[in-house]
Structure 1
Amino acid sequence: MFQKKMIIKSDFRYSIKLLIVFVVMFSAILMEKANAQISAGKASYRTLTEYTSTANDSVFVFCDNIGTGVGELRADSPDGTNGWTFAWTKWDATVNDFITNLVTEANQSFSILSNLTDGRYRVVMSKSGETDVTSIAWVLNNSNAEPVLTLSRMNCDGVYFSGSFAKKELQYQDVPNANQINVKVVDRVIFSLQRNGEEKQGTPLVAYDGSDENLFDNEEYEGDETYQLVVTDQYACDFTSNSIVSNTYVVKADFSVAPDSGEAPLEDVIFTNNSINATDYKWYLYQDYDRLPEGLTSVEDSLLTDAILLDKDLAPYTYQYSGKYFVKLIVTSDKGPEVCLDEMMLSTPIVVDTSLVQVPNVFTPNGDGRNDIWKVKTQSLFLESFHAIVFNRWGRVMYEWRNPEEGWNGKVNGKMATPGTYFYVITAVGREEPQKKYTKKGSFMLIRK
């Protein structure tokens, strides 16, 4: 029903994460075929090495926000049964061999190695009567410095920030050479400005070079709230900045109306003011546009009231006559160094229907003092004229009257009418200008008890 400022937001951070997953999916499939026995369910990123002269290994990247080494590898027996021995060793680059013994587990179907630091790991799986199976993988822990978030400025549009991030490149060693090789990734990071944990702006950055990026929140709110910058790096790891507490003086006009429809007079219409950061208010209550005179020269000429209303909360209002009415609220704020303004207008009108209120569908003229008169309930004060006719099923007039305060007592020529279905036609003219003629037709039941 309302026209409001709409803020369209896209959660770039999660969509780009999904893109990264798809990009590396093919590499992951090849990796699993090449090293089917080692897996890393907690890895954020996985790919294959690009050695220059030897068979490639799996590479698993882990998000390590505490910088202690959180890698975890799992080896499953080649046939999925128990009875296998798992012997884990770690590569020593000085001698180009796996000479560092880690752990040996016997009579198992799988083995898990946790809290691993960076390096190249090997597991040899053996079982009596079976061929030994060897699987190798790299563990790279992705720890990074926190992003930096700085509050730049505020205005009537919102709160502005700048953010930066020192991107880290992970490497592994070319085997058997000593050269370092960068992990192959989609070179993209995502900056996500968050307020109280909710994303306000997401920005994907290709080949980010560490420079400052502008971030912006244009939503209105009251009081102090907490901002952080969350950066998703090229390995799909999240890093969170320091917190910044800020307010905003963006203003928003917002109100609701109840009831927004009914019959005339529509009484006690309540306007609930939900505006944010506003300090001054202007309410415009417009007349029914269909009855406005031609040649209006100003907004005020079309108002229902004598003037624009300046109160924050309006008193309950009564729409005396039928029609379609609009309301607009303009708010301003002087909370900042500049005056901010916003407005809201009903997109659909308040609809006030005909003055006829209710026609009963049954009455019981038995002399007990209850429901003995079939009477149309009206707001007679707002009717210029009224005429009601009751017919039987053959079209014979049973009774008619012009005073809306009167009604039919169920008698015809002094005799009780036969119980059954009767029909009515009611016509009325309202007092509004220009006058409108209303007609209502229907049926009701006469019951004698």
Structure 2
Amino acid sequence: MTHHSNAQQLTAPASDFSESTSYPVTPNNDMIYYFCTQQGQQIAELQAESAGGVVTFNWTKYNSSTGTFDAYSTESGTSSVIQNLADGCYQVSFTDGGTNYSFRAWVFNSWLQATAAVSASTCTSFQLESTVTGSTFAYYDITSNQQVTVASNNTYAWYDGDVRLSTQPAFTMYDVPAQNTDYRLEVANRAGCSATATVTYQSVVPKAKFSWTTTQESDPQYSNYQAPLEVQFNNESVNADDDKYEWFLFKDITAIREEASTATQPVDSIMETLTGVNPVYTYENSGRYMVKLVAAKENPNFTCRDTFYLSDYIVADTALVLVPPVFTPNGDGMNDVLKIKTRSLESLDFQILNRWGRTVHHYKKSGYIPADSELAAWDGKIGGKPASAGVYFYVVDAKGRDGTRRRRKGFIHLLR
């Protein structure tokens, strides 16, 4: 018969987890102590204590083959610790103050090992899988010698950095990263003993992205760039092959819509296709243009692609004529000539009128006018003589390279 008291006891202070047995027949349950360790190592230990007097502790170990307890060790003192124990049930008996005491407990050396792997990797998903091995836990009913298997109850947690992704042993990732990524698996059993494994996903997918720039200054009067507009495409893609970029330059959106409104067949909206990492393209005509980049990465058995669109249109405006508000033809070599800034013109008709509306100067230019030209339109003379200081009016009639006609009126100050 087993006696228990507050003074005499059997404990396992170094254990990591404990629970009671559930014997099928034996009426009294015993404690089970778990010790987290490595495979092949035995660190389990039990400690018995008397009420304070010196006693002889007789230790025995349960033999499941015979259903009996075999002698294990004997030790005298007020306490006794047995260490480096193999899995099993240990019983200690001693006589303290004329009373016989007997305690027993089960111990398990608990270990886990985990590995993680990537499988079924495609352009749209891949699978993270785990392989976990560890201790098996089984005890025996002391009366009937029936074996009771204790489930390991492993829990799983997959992480990308500090972000938990799943609590399943295996799962499919659909948010495929475009860079090699380490994933961490953490496994714990019912005793809280844990194992960690890390696997690196070798990315097979690209991530397309780009921006664009131009050296042309935008027109402050119209808040847009002017045709011809040279655009530098800046590739910001990740994990793509340098020889597998396709840039699809769409036609002007207005032209596409007009064509689609009368078409009976699908409209080809692509104006031109470019290749290369960072191509340069010149938009010769005004319009609103969309651009699409397709980036690809070739793998042994398949090729993955990703597509990126601009968030807004590239806008190339119609022809530009800028007339400065002031010029000073006083012979000092600074601002002596009225210079008109133009872009994307085929022809220009420029007239200067006095305050009474009479044309006092006429400047015309036709044929191709280079982009970003500055035309010396008036030297401040009327009929070869210096014009009087004051306010003059101008009229511009210009034709852009895109066929757009631009008329403007305004005034300038002639200062001397």
Query: Which interval holds the TM-score relative to the shorter structure?
Result: 0.5 to 0.7
* Deviations, residues 291-344 of structure 1 (Å, cap 9, x unaligned): 354538566x44434xx33x3335421111111122222233321422322222
Q: Which residue of 1 aligns with 2:293?
A: 329
Q: How many equivalent residue pairs? A: 278
Contact in 2 for aligned 1:389/1:400 (Cα 8 Å): yes
Which residue, out of 365, 390, 395, partners 1:403?
365
Q: Which residue of 1 aligns with 2:396?
A: 426
Q: Which residue of 2 aligns with 1:229?
A: 185
Flag the 1:161–1:414 CA change in 2: closer, same or farther, 3 A.
same
Give the structure with the higher percent strand.
Answer: 2
Flag the 1:291–1:152 CA change in 2: closer, same or farther, 3 A.
closer
Shift of 1:421: 4.5
Unaligned runs of 5+ in 1: 1-64, 68-91, 97-142, 167-188, 206-210
Code of the aligned partner of 1:347: S
TM-score (norm 1): 0.50
Shift of 1:95: 8.9
Q: Which residue of 2 aligns with 1:49?
A: none
Flag the 1:253–1:163 CA change in 2: closer, same or farther, 3 A.
same
1:270 aligns with 2:232: yes
Contact in 1 for aligned 2:112/2:195 (Cα 8 Å): no
Shift of 1:408: 1.7
Q: Which residue of 1 aligns with 2:117?
A: 150
Contact in 1 for aligned 2:156/2:185 (Cα 8 Å): no
Flag the 1:227–1:416 CA change in 2: closer, same or farther, 3 A.
same
TM-score (norm 2): 0.53
1:386 aligns with 2:386: no
Q: Which residue of 2 aligns with 1:185?
A: none
Secondary structure in structure 1 of the residue aligned to 2:121: strand
Secondary structure in structure 2 of the residue aligned to 1:291: helix
1:250 aligns with 2:205: yes
Code of the aligned partner of 1:445: H
Q: Which residue of 2 aligns with 1:193?
A: 159
Contact in 2 for aligned 1:158/1:220 (Cα 8 Å): no
Q: Which residue of 2 aligns with 1:218?
A: 175
The sequence identity of aligned pairs, in percent, is 33
Contact in 2 for aligned 1:263/1:357 (Cα 8 Å): no
Shift of 1:266: 1.0
Q: Which residue of 1 aligns with 2:74?
A: none
Code of the aligned partner of 2:234: T
Q: Please give the alpha-carbon distance, in whole angstroms, between the structure 2 residues aligned to 1:94 and 1:325.
A: 87
Secondary structure in structure 2 of the residue aligned to 1:150: strand
Which runs of structure 2 are paired with 1:17-416 in the superposition (5 Å)? 149-162=116-129, 191-194=157-160, 197=161, 199=163, 202-203=165-166, 212-214=169-171, 216=173, 218-222=175-179, 224-229=180-185, 241-259=196-214, 262-267=225-230, 269-275=231-237, 276-278=239-241, 280-292=244-256, 293=259, 294-295=262-263, 297=265, 301-305=268-272, 308-309=273-274, 311-313=275-277, 315-356=279-320, 358-379=322-343, 382-391=344-353, 397-403=359-365, 405=375, 407-416=377-386
Shift of 1:214: 1.4
Code of the aligned partner of 1:446: L
Secondary structure in structure 2 of the residue aligned to 1:242: strand
Superposed CA RMSD in Å reads 4.5
Q: Please give the alpha-carbon distance, in whole angstroms, between the structure 2 residues aligned to 1:324 and 1:446.
A: 38
Secondary structure in structure 2 of the residue aligned to 1:156: coil
Shift of 1:422: 4.1
Flag the 1:280–1:315 CA change in 2: closer, same or farther, 3 A.
closer
Contact in 2 for aligned 1:287/1:304 (Cα 8 Å): yes
Shift of 1:145: 5.9
Q: Which residue of 2 aligns with 1:438?
A: 406
Which structure: larger Rg?
Answer: 2
* Deviations, residues 349-373 of structure 1 (Å, cap 9, x unaligned): 1111122254333322123444322
Shift of 1:414: 4.2
Contact in 2 for aligned 1:264/1:320 (Cα 8 Å): yes
Shift of 1:438: 2.0
Secondary structure in structure 2 of the residue aligned to 1:376: strand
* Deviations, residues 358-397 of structure 1 (Å, cap 9, x unaligned): 4333322123444322121224xx4343222334567555
Q: Please give the alpha-carbon distance, in whole angstroms, between the structure 2 residues aligned to 1:444 and 1:231.
A: 81
